[in-house]
Amino acid sequence: MSAAPRPPEAERFPSPAEVAGGQPAAAPPVVDIRGVWTCFGGTVVHQDLDLVVRRGELLGLVGSSGSGKTTLLREVVGLLRPSRGEVRLFGLPILDADPDARREVRRRFGVLFQHGALFSALPVFDNIAFPLRELKRLDEAMIRDLVLMKMAMVELGPEMAGLMPAELSGGMVKRVALARALALEPELLVLDEPTAGLDPDRSENFVKLIRTLQRELDFTVIMVTHDLATLAGLASRVAALSDGRVVANGTLEEVMAVDHPFTRSFFASLRQPALCGSRR
Amino acid sequence: MLPPAAIACEVREGRQCVRLSGHWTLAALPPSLAALEARLCELAATPVDWDLSGVARLDSAGALLLWRAWGRRWPEVVAVPEAHCLVLMRAESVPPPLPPVAGRRPPLLVAGRAALIVGSHLRDLVALAGQLLLDLVWLFANPRQLPLREFSATLYKSGARALPVTALVGFLIGVVVSYLSSLQLKLFGAEVFIVNILGMSIIRELGPVLVAVLVAGRSGSAMTAQIGVMRVTEEIDALATMGVSRSLRLVLPKVAALALAMPLLVVWCSAAGIVGGLVAANLQLDLSWGFFIETLPRVVPLPNLWIGLAKGLVFGLLIGLVACHFGLRVKPNTESLSTMTTSSVVSSITIVILADAVFAILTRNVGLPL
Ligand SMILES: Nc1ncnc2c1ncn2[C@@H]1O[C@H](COP(=O)(O)OP(=O)(O)OP(=O)(O)O)[C@@H](O)[C@H]1O
Ligand SMILES: [Mg+2]
């Protein structure tokens, strides 16, 4: 999108990166996983896995339980070092960059953990406000408005703000965690089973929310999901993980057409015309 | 590089118009938002037209910034591209802040609340002790349900593993007490009384209290934390659904094992203390080892040992009970876990010292040399 020509008298408000003298660079892929091996003791989880996610893509990652999806996401966000191979985030090797660059990169993505990982000692409001306060750029009034806005986005009313994580239902935990992941308006959203535990209605609203936001803000999403409706509604590309490798990579239709034991069984229900018809 | 937020004022068709352009997102906005917000508020103070068609990206932070500058209502004339309508409408639906409710709690209310909390602790403690008694009675009828594995595990962890540290502490305290007393006794030429002082103070008083403090810090905190984490991770609920009684499986073995281990530790620690005192007396006063060993049973009557053992038993029961009580009160969050672990250790040490005072009063005529 090209910006409209600016009249010369415009007051400019430079961004932090510009103030710091950041250099514009040719945009590298948002996530670049190259030849990654992961071993826990004797078990090999990933063998020579390659995966590239480009800007603006919504990648759905599927795989059977225990196939290493969560582990892969942990490597992407720099919580785990692969046994071999390299993961680059925004073109930076996140684990080997210098601490300042690392902190900068960590601001640019939001993570939704499989089990929420809310701070159990903080109420809902402070959980969502936490990353905003860490920025040290916003005043409390602004933080309050932002938090209430994020809560409304995930369909949580202001009356929920004071609840502790232990007082939430499973689906509410997911929604608070999503609101926290969205708090910093990240360029990359890493979601581990975002719709597990949500009712179909909420799942659909989640799909709508991410789509709208994606259109407005043009961020990138990597999402692990077992939910075919979410996958069909959201993913612009699907990667199937099996036996430690990406066995299929493409649009949903392309992946469904791949002849592999995993994809055959995973998409079996979608291929049955009766079920497919009733879902639509 | 993102084109940054920019504001331009121009006159269009005779009306003042503010044109915004660039990226109005949290990442692209300037590090300090105050200057930008002040400028926007200044512009919004007079009636102007707003033109947002040049804005490439508008996120929640940018939208809120505008919305707050507009005084939380739409300006008279505003041009918004369709892509940015939704986010502005989301900002619109944020309820305005409520005025903060000022209020300091009156001190009476604070005191009353604290008293109620203490009362509830006492009630729960008594209830827990009663439940343990009922469990014991039930176990007599169903001896196969005896939680022996948990009992022996606690006995090993809280008893056997505590032997080195209790011996070390007991020995050092014995040395210190003996050294300080002998300095005083020398002044009066009453060196032989070192045996009385050491024997009475260590066997009757110092041994039990030292062990109680060590065990409360070592095992009491561990028990509170363990039961507390089981609360946080819902393991206690899982046990309950499997029909396992938490008092029988978690609390009783811990309390019983401590009640058995503590008297033994008291004997062990007192012995180490006596040896420490003996070594120091031998070096400081040239008291012979044989004399010390021979005199000790004469000047410290046997009931003192029974008192020490009884204290060990009672302190062990109290520490176990308090530790489990606080563990079961942990709320499922990390903050509560740390508070309760601290409270558990502080309370059990306080309660042990109180119980020690009660012992001192009850046994004031017992075991004194004639
Ligand atoms: N810290 C760890 N130590 C040892 N093995 C691990 C560790 N973390 C994961 N694994 C193993 O790695 C494999 C992949 O685990 P992972 O959590 O990535 O699965 P997943 O694909 O996310 O499954 P699910 O869909 O059930 O969440 C599993 O076999 C698991 O046992
Ligand atoms: Mg997983």
Q: Confirm or reject CATH 3.30.70.20 for domain B6-92, answering yes or no.
A: no
* For residue B185, pLDDT beyond 70: yes
> What is the domain partition of chain B in residue ranges?
6-92, 128-362
Contact list in A for residue B230 (CB cut-off 8 A) is none
What is the best residue among A38, A45, A243 to mutate for testing ligand 1's pocket, by most ligand atoms within 8 Å of CB?
A45
Structure confidence at residue A98 (pLDDT): 82
Q: How far is the CA of A101 from the centre of ligand 2 (A)?
A: 28
What pLDDT digit, counting tens, does each position of B230-271 carry? 988 888 888 888 888 888 889 999 999 999 999 999 999 999
Most confident segment among A41-50, A185-194, A268-277, B202-211: B202-211
Structure confidence at residue A222 (pLDDT): 93
* For residue B182, pLDDT beyond 70: yes
**CA A119, CA A127: separation in Å to the nearest integer?**
6
Please name the residue whose Cα sits nearest to atom 24 of ligand 1.
Answer: A65
Q: What is the pTM of this model?
A: 0.80
- Of the pLDDT bands very low, low, confident and very high (cuts 50, 70, 90), residue B191 is confident
Arch. (CATH architecture) of A27-55+66-106+222-280 = 3-Layer(aba) Sandwich (3.40)
Ligand nearest to the CA of A45: 1
Question: What average pLDDT does chain B have?
Answer: 89
Q: Which residue has the higher pLDDT, B104 or B245?
A: B245
Structure confidence at residue A1 (pLDDT): 40
Structure confidence at residue B320 (pLDDT): 96
Nearest to A233 by CA among A198, A183, A272, A181: A198
Sheet hosting strand A237-242, strand order edge to edge: A109-112, A188-192, A220-224, A58-63, A237-242, A245-250
Nearest to A249 by CA among A65, A67, A61, A76: A61
Strand runs (DSSP E) across chain B, as ranges? Answer: 5-12, 15-24, 49-58, 77-79
Q: What size, in residues, is chain B? A: 370
Dig out the tokens for B286 from the structure.
């040239």
Task: Tell whether ligand 1 has an atom less than 6 A from the beta carbon of residue A244.
Answer: no
* For residue A53, pLDDT beyond 80: yes
Which helix (H) or strand (E) segment holds residue A103: the answer is helix A99-106
Please name the residue whose Cα sits nearest to atom 14 of ligand 1.
Answer: A68
Residue A202 CB neighbour total at 10 angstroms: 18
- Of the pLDDT bands very low, low, confident and very high (cuts 50, 70, 90), residue B181 is very high
Task: Tell whether ligand 1 has an atom less than 6 A from the beta carbon of residue A69.
Answer: yes
**CA A41, CA B3: separation in Å to the nearest integer?**
48
Structure confidence at residue B176 (pLDDT): 95
* For residue B342, pLDDT beyond 90: yes
Structure confidence at residue B370 (pLDDT): 63
* For residue A140, pLDDT beyond 90: no
Contact A121 B335 (CB under 8 A): yes
Q: What is the mean pLDDT of residues B339-367?
A: 94
Residue A190 CB neighbour total at 10 angstroms: 23
> What is the domain partition of chain A in residue ranges?
27-55+66-106+222-280
**CA B209, CA B197: separation in Å to the nearest integer?**
17
What pLDDT digit, counting tens, does each position of A165-218 carry? 888 888 889 889 999 998 888 889 999 988 887 888 888 888 888 888 888 778
Dig out the tokens for B315 from the structure.
């302190």
Structure confidence at residue A276 (pLDDT): 45
DSSP A16-39: HHHHTTPPP-PPPPSEEEEEEEEE
Q: Which residue has the higher pLDDT, B161 or A99?
A: B161
